[in-house]
Structure formats: structure tokens, C-alpha cells
Amino acid sequence: MRTMMKNNVHALIGKYSFRHEFSDLFGKAGLEWLRTLELNTSDRLMLNNHLDHLENLNKQIQLVDEEIHSKASEEVPLADAVPESE
């Protein structure tokens, strides 16, 4: 879904032939730039919607990653406690 939202953003700004120099359009500076683009009203609403979806997806992914890391670090000591078989 995140890739789809990013593709939608690229398609939308492509309609306007905007060019950018960001190595990561969806990094902090790139997102700030996207939020300042002058677009017609419906495209601005659509872009804001895509960016809001991306922000929410990023938060959800971060929460899942944190849970995975938490569970993994809890289980590592258990794996170390198992004696090796010869």
C-alpha cells in the first residue's frame, strides 16, 4: 500500500512536470516540498490525502517493527540458554 501511495504521488506531481533534487522524495525535506507545491484545488486535496495515508502507513509499519524487535530481543536469551547437542 505504501508503494501504491508513493506511485500515486509521483503520478500526480508528474502531471505538473515538477522536478526535484531530493534523493528521497519521501524524506523530511521532500515531504515539506510536496506540502508547498501549488496545485489546483482537487489535486492539492488528493496529494494531501496521499501524504496523510503515507504518514499513517509509516506509523503502522514502525509500530509493527518495534513489536517484532521487542519479541526478538525477548527470545534471544532463550535461544542462548539451549545447550548445543553433540
Cβ–Cβ < 8 Å for 16, 37 = yes
What is the pLDDT at residue 73?
A: 74
Mean pLDDT, to the nearest integer, of 20-41? Answer: 96
Cβ–Cβ < 8 Å for 20, 10 = no
Separation CA 72–CA 11 (nearest Å): 38
Check pLDDT > 60 for residue 40. Answer: yes
Check pLDDT > 60 for residue 86. Answer: no
What is the pLDDT at residue 83?
A: 67
Q: In the chain, where are the structural domains located?
A: 2-63
pLDDT digits (tens, 9 = 90+) for 54-79: 999 999 999 999 998 888 876 666 55
